[in-house]
Amino acid sequence: MPQTPSWVKQLKPSGPQGSDLLASERAASNVPVEQLSELLFTKETIQKKNKILATLKSEEMFDKSPNYYAGRYEYFEKSVARAKALRNLKLRENWTLEEYRIACDLISEPLPYSLHEGMFVVTLKDQGTPEQQERFTKPADDYKIIGCYAQTELGHGSNVRGLETTATWNPERKTFTMHSPYLTASKWWIGSLGKMANFACVMAQLIINGKSYGPHPFIVQIRDLKTHEPLENVHVGDIGPKVGYNTMDNGFLLFNNVEVPHISMLARFSEVDPNTSKYVRKADPKLIYGTMTWVRSTIVMQSGSALARGVTIATRYSAIRRQFTDRDEPKAKVETPVLNYSMVQIRLFPLLAATYALHFTGKAMMNLYTRAQETLSKGGASILADLHGSSCALKALSSTIAVEGLEVCRRACGGHGFSSFSGIGNWYGNYLPTVTFEGDNYMLTQQVANYVLKSARAALAGKAAKNETGHILAEYLKKKDIRPSFDITSSNADIVSAFAWRAASLIFDIQNKRDNLKTAWNDLLVDFYRMNKAYAQYMVVVNFYNTLQNTKAAPEIESVLSTLFRLYALHTLDQEASDFTATGACTERQVAVARSTVEQKLLKEIRPHALRLVDAWDFDDYVLDSSLGRHDGKVYEDMFYRASELNPLNRVTVDPYPESPVCFRKVEEAHPKSKL
Amino acid sequence: MPDFTDNLKPRYDGTATLQAERDASSINVDELAKHLLSRNGFLERQQRVLNVLSKEKLFNKDQLLNLSRPDRYYLGLARSKAIQRIGRKLGWDDEDYKMAEYLNDEMSPYHLHTTMFVTTVREQGSEEQKAYWLPKITNFDIIGCYAQTELGHGSNVRGLETVAKWDPERKEFEIHSPHLTASKWWNGAMGRTATHAIVVAQLLLPKQGKAHEYENHGPQPFIVQIRAEKTHQPMDGIVVGDIGPKYGYASMDNGYMLFDHYRVLKSALLSRYVDVSDDGKFTRHGHPAVLYGSLTFVRANIIMHARLILARAVTVAVRYLAIRRQFRDRDSTNEQEDEMKVLDYPTVQIRILPLLATTFALHYTGEYMYMLYQRSRETIEKGDFGPLAELHSASSGLKSLCTMLAADSIETCRRAMGGHGFGGGSGLVLINADYLSKPTVEGDNWMITQQVAAYLIKKMTQAVKNPNNKAKDPTDVLFQTYLQTRSSRTPKTIVSSSGIDDEAIVDAFQWRAADLSYRAYQARVVEKKPWTKLMVQLHNLSRAYSEQILVTNFYSSFETTSSPLSAPTPAVLRRCFRLYSLYTLDTFASSFTLTNAVTAESTYALLDAILELMTELRPHAVKLVDAWSIPDWLLDSALGRSDGKVYEDLYDRAHRRNPLNKITFNPDYRSEEIVLGSGDGGRDLLAKL
């Protein structure tokens, strides 16, 4: 294809220019963006981020512009190179772990070392004895060995007890035999296993003398350290392409009676005595459940920013994209920006509100977690138990909101949302597994049910409430017969109470079904799911509310955050209307008022601040990698540039006629400029 | 290479599991399949074309997910060419070609040539134009595309920026792109394939008597050559190319195109309904609304397609979830008991079984649409445009609802399958990505619902003004009845101790649609509220109206005097009707109670009724999806295989058919080498960046 001719280069988008439109959007609001960003992330973190961003942008290896064109194979190859380069950058720049994580976040694609760092080393540190630390953790820390964490199997996901891989103790030789008795025993989905790792932490059923002691972790070498070929009787590889995460080598792994030494079983919590062949339990493995709570709280907080990417892109583009003149002003020459349509607002603004709600909720949980850990003796323990329950509930809710919200954002961009250059599709693909990993969102609701059933029974027995869940249950029991009314239209505190009331009512409802009516567990699963949603939504609303109460900021910020709070809460209330009315938390009339408050009032109040509210999320253009979401509004120029200059398909001339079997008649070399 | 894994078997036998599922239901699958899919000999055709394509190596689907974008297009083009050559050899008809494209399951670079391009010439060309162009099109001497949407403009055709200006001296048009946003954008087959395009441009003619002033006569279609016949290079004055990678549609070269004062002959304007005389005068013959005729046709097809897409997702989900096991029943005391089949979990059923019911709801409405389109088409050809409004309105509302249902359901099914749903072996990766464009192509779903609402407000206004006029269509009947009984309405009870009242269901859906129409009429016509403020309400109205159509048509299918189907199929289908209806009712409960369609008390009973219906449908689930007859070759899914060999196939794809496993990488960060032993030092890679 010839170089872009000059008459094309001179063309400008018609009508008001994107950059002017965004500038006037920003001028129309007085929300201090920088202060709001600092409230979200702290000044210190933002400075760190900017420094790392500058480093990454200066490295050719991390240029994102060719990402959208590659096949799985090249894309993975590049991601191996990037993982190596990032590790070298960390050493060169002397990054802390936190800074390294910020860098990964900015690159925004899963890299094939991440399970080595995130799971393998962490498990070794948490569960290894001092001897094992010396033997495995040291070389792992130094990347002399590269590991992964092999738990899920082809036939088994969430249910660890059902794993089929076995590790059988051989008393004479003091070794374990790792074995995969079925095809479905194959380890599957294991990140960094497919091509990268030479060690794996393998979860396998421990068998001593024919008796099974349940799943335990074993450190097993799987590839040769020199040739990187699989060891004998180990069968390992990549599981193939996926919806997203294609830069990661998720792998499979099978053992054909592979013998490993005694030291392979991680033995901080339990071990096999090499002399007596007895199983010895040394400490309570529940000690490490805290890590899971921490991981889930992180997911809650990240769900806010994950969604905020989509909302940023869709909001900026909708402020520029114009469609139809206003039906009530047929003479108007300029079409209306679609962000003025209530139809677009009702899709985007509740999600904008949700980004803040989820972020503050995640942050509040992590603070609570840190404080409770420090005061374990003084009631911290019961707060931690509560956090475990609520973090499960919130993980399920928040990642579902983010995943579904991202697709709503993509569709709100109309046709251009379908282009890779929207920047939403790829990100969505990579974020998707969040709803199934770290506990499948639907399965988690059973753990939550377990926890709240216990709390409900304690409340009924009149035990004093020691944590948030206990409080709302006790409050409900106290007022159940009076049936209080909540003034959701004018009091934020009453909105919170209405959410608490609905959650508590649904919790006692399942407690009644389970304990008094003896309903089968399986028949209650849908009720659990409903309860979980109510319970988690309460958590989000109360944490958002508490953040508002405890935040001192500029009056413009306080006021707009309060509007976001009401938008999130009342919109959710309208969506879940039948729950609220059925539990007596509010009346049908109140639902109708809530709906019209959202549609006729709150959307309008947010509208002028929409741009600045997404700006406060502080995504650099490098991170978004999106034509539609550019900070400077040069949407159409960038779409056109990427399509015509960067797109490799335009270097091809085809033979279009069916009679000829030739498809590509000519393929030009890349222009020297676009090669780099 | 043989290895120890060759002899491993899954712990549970998937084939036996599915067989047991099938044995447990007495539905006659062949009979139901014929009932659903015999229009135009669908089943027989599917088998015949499948036999041909599945034998050709070119159509092997193995590596699609591993290929880069340029490779996908290359393959897409190669396959499209092959389909034409095969079809000619075997004497295929139009329906056979469509079937081949359906089974090949990717957007063909010829797709627009055989649909929008040829349809537009046929419907909007003059007799002379048709005689000139149609033989070239049928013979593939030229390859066409349809260039309407622009970089800055989608749904709103009136806002297009490309102009076609009349030159009175040379009696030609000059097509021009005055801005960057005037660039044609998204147009399928235009990027690399097409030689010709239908270009929709604003027709500018000189004002009579004023030499330099022009008048805009709105967007009109021009047939334009865009690439040279021999070299296939763009014509001078045209810049055209592919717009780059997308969420899906990798095999299609969606394009962009700009014109620099590009001259075309007067005959380029398709002139069956509009024309320009030699002295630059505009004439119109016939009804301008007919320009939307082909758009309506495309929408009707999209709706017919939606049920099969939905059926495909549900087929994969039902089969895999009937095999996948997870956790023992918590209430069981037997330690040795097998883990439960995931499909027995109500939390899984509630995601999948209502979708299974929805496939049938879409089917009966698809049949209705087909009839409506054929009926209206005949009268339009006769010059009577009366039914076009009802057709356009019904098609756009249903298109919006059906595509949204289908697109969302693919994702719901994918997620219900847990981790493996994310893998390429689910078979839902490409279909999800490709189908996701449906809610936005041919009119953004959220935008076109406004047309439905505007239509309903107009109808309600007429019904209020002239309550005794003769009813012309079902909407008139509905609105007139509503207005007559409005003051005496008692909300219905759907579920009571005596069971589920089917007539009350239909009544409730119709009442809700009529009541929401009346409220919209009140707000807009009586209270004169601004349109923009009402949009959310209007969207909900469109959805309610379309749901009413789905429920009414599904119910009507039971009314034919004797069902052609043997027991227990009719009873099972009725449960599907109830499940779809009650599930929808439960989801939008407040909209039904606020409109007085049903009593608030009766919504509390819905969840229990839904759970019971699902328990009743559960044993028939596998056979119901079997009836949709989606071939394994089309499913291309390890999880959804009809023989249940889920794990064997997942492993085979990963281990034996995965190119990444043919390479050994160097994982040590100290070394710049990426492929072990290649000594590449990362240099090749940098060149690729």
What is the residue extent of each domain of chain B?
A: 116-285, 294-625, 658-689
Q: Which whole-number Å values give the CA distances from B94 to B47, B61, B91, B114, in the listed order? A: 16, 24, 10, 9
pTM of the predicted protein model: 0.80
The answer to whether A69 contacts B245, with C-beta atoms less than 8 Å apart, is yes
Query: Residue A268 and residue A285: Cα distance in Å, rounded?
Result: 9
Nearest CA in chain A to B658: A240
Chain A hits for B345, CB-CB cut-off 8 Å, are 522, 525
The answer to whether A656 contacts B77, with C-beta atoms less than 8 Å apart, is yes
The DSSP annotation for A508-548 comes to HHHHIIIIIS---GGGGHHHHHHHHHHHHHHHHHHHHHHHH
Tokens 């409080």 sit at which residue?
A471
Looking at the complex, report in whole angstroms how far the Cα of residue A373 sits from the nearest Cα belonging to chain B: 32
Is A191 flagged in the annotation as binding? Answer: yes
Query: Residue B689 and residue B687: Cα distance in Å, rounded?
Result: 6
- At residue A143, the 3 state secondary structure works out as coil
What six digits make up the tokens of B449?
Answer: 């619902």
Residue type, A645: E
Chain B hits for A675, CB-CB cut-off 8 Å, are 687, 689
Closest residue to A649, CB basis, from B110, B242, B664: B242
Q: Is the ipTM of this complex over 0.85?
A: no
Query: Residue B326 and residue A413: Cα distance in Å, rounded?
Result: 39
Query: Residue B580 and residue A658: Cα distance in Å, rounded?
Result: 45
Nearest CA in chain A to B58: A661
Closest residue to B654, CB basis, from A12, A239, A636: A239
Query: Residue B457 and residue B151: Cα distance in Å, rounded?
Result: 32
Nearest CA in chain B to A326: B532
The answer to whether B429 contacts A243, with C-beta atoms less than 8 Å apart, is yes
Please report which confidence band the pLDDT of residue A379 belongs to, taking 50, 70 and 90 as the band edges.
Answer: low
Strand-by-strand arrangement of the A251-255 sheet: A187-190, A251-255, A234-238
Query: Residue A412 and residue A421: Cα distance in Å, rounded?
Result: 15
Query: Residue B661 and residue B416: Cα distance in Å, rounded?
Result: 29
Query: Residue A597 and residue A609: Cα distance in Å, rounded?
Result: 18
What six digits make up the tokens of A359?
Answer: 């972020």
What six digits make up the tokens of A37?
Answer: 């960003």
Higher per-residue pLDDT: A10 or B223: B223
Higher per-residue pLDDT: B291 or A503: A503
Residue B354: burial class (beta carbons within 10 Å; 0-12, 13-18, 19+): buried
Looking at the complex, report in whole angstroms how far the Cα of residue B467 sits from the nearest Cα belonging to chain A: 28
Considering just the CA atoms, what is the radius of gyration of chain A in Å?
A: 28
Beta carbons of A624 and A313 less than 8 angstroms apart: yes
Secondary structure of A80-107 in HEC code, one letter for each residue: HHHHHHHHHHHHHHCCCHHHHHHHHHHH
Chain B hits for A240, CB-CB cut-off 8 Å, are 65-66, 423-425, 653-654, 657-658, 660
Tokens 């894309």 sit at which residue?
A75
Q: Which domains does chain A have, with CATH numbers?
A: 19-114 (1.10.540.10), 118-283 (2.40.110.10), 295-615 (1.20.140.10), 634-675 (no CATH)
Q: Which whole-number Å values give the CA distances from B424 to A250, B243, B566, in the listed order? A: 12, 26, 39
pLDDT at A364 > cutoff 70: yes
Chain B hits for A643, CB-CB cut-off 8 Å, are 241-244, 256
- At residue B189, the 3 state secondary structure works out as coil
pLDDT at A180 > cutoff 90: yes
Please report which confidence band the pLDDT of residue A12 belongs to, taking 50, 70 and 90 as the band edges.
Answer: confident
The answer to whether A343 contacts B327, with C-beta atoms less than 8 Å apart, is no
Secondary structure of A283-327 in HEC code, one letter for each residue: CCHHHHHHHHHHHHHHHHHHHHHHHHHHHHHHHHHHHHCECCCCC
Is the domain defined by B294-625 classed in CATH 3.40.640.10?
Answer: no
Chain A hits for B674, CB-CB cut-off 8 Å, are 77, 80-81
User: Within 13 Å of residue B5, how many CA atoms lie on the same side as its CB?
Assistant: 24
| pLDDT value at residue A674 | 39
The answer to whether B325 contacts A155, with C-beta atoms less than 8 Å apart, is yes
Q: What is the pLDDT of residues A513-562, one digit of tens each?
A: 999 999 999 889 999 999 999 999 999 999 999 999 999 999 999 999 99
| pLDDT value at residue A465 | 86
Chain A hits for B114, CB-CB cut-off 8 Å, are none
Among A55-64, A92-101, A565-574, top mean pLDDT goes to: A565-574
Q: Annotated catalytic sites of B, by residue?
A: 442
The DSSP annotation for B30-62 comes to HHHHHHHH-GGGHHHHHHHHHHHHTT-GGG--T
Size (chain A), residues: 676
| pLDDT value at residue B157 | 74
| pLDDT value at residue B689 | 45
The answer to whether A432 contacts B651, with C-beta atoms less than 8 Å apart, is no
| pLDDT value at residue A447 | 87
Beta carbons of A398 and A300 less than 8 angstroms apart: yes
Residues 6 or more apart whose CB falls under 8 angstroms from that of B611 comprise: A523, A526, B346, B350
| pLDDT value at residue A675 | 34
Nearest CA in chain A to B447: A343
pLDDT at A671 > cutoff 60: no
Looking at the complex, report in whole angstroms how far the Cα of residue B233 sits from the nearest Cα belonging to chain A: 7
Decide which of 3.40.50.720, 3.40.47.10, 3.40.50.300, 2.40.110.10 is the CATH code for B116-285.
Answer: 2.40.110.10
Closest residue to A183, CB basis, from B161, B331, B647: B647
What six digits make up the tokens of A386?
Answer: 């509560």
Lowest mean pLDDT among A247-256, A371-380, A449-458, B590-599: A371-380
Beta carbons of A605 and A290 less than 8 angstroms apart: no
Beta carbons of B243 and B161 less than 8 angstroms apart: no
What six digits make up the tokens of B652?
Answer: 């085979």
Looking at the complex, report in whole angstroms how far the Cα of residue A119 sits from the nearest Cα belonging to chain B: 17
Closest residue to B661, CB basis, from A154, A237, A528: A237
Closest CA to B198 of B146, B255, B268: B146
Residue type, B246: K
- At residue B284, the 3 state secondary structure works out as strand
The segments of chain B whose pLDDT lies below 70 read 1, 154-155, 287-298, 300, 380-389, 391, 438-445, 561-562, 681-689
Averaged pLDDT, A219-245: 92
Dihedral class, residue B644 (left if φ above 0, else alpha if ψ from -120 to 50, else beta): left
Catalytic residue among A38, A99, A438, A645: A438
The answer to whether A418 contacts B437, with C-beta atoms less than 8 Å apart, is yes
Query: Residue B306 and residue B324: Cα distance in Å, rounded?
Result: 27
Query: Residue A417 and residue B247: Cα distance in Å, rounded?
Result: 8
Chain B hits for A639, CB-CB cut-off 8 Å, are 151, 185, 243
Angle between helices B346-381 and B293-323 (to 10 degrees): 160
What count of CB pairs under 8 Å joins A to B? 435
pLDDT at A454 > cutoff 60: yes
Residue type, A417: G
Q: Which whole-number Å values give the CA distances from B621 to A231, B355, B635, in the listed order? A: 45, 11, 17
Q: Strand ranges (DSSP E) for B480-594?
A: 495-496, 499-500
The residues that bridge with A254 in the sheet, in sequence order, are: A235
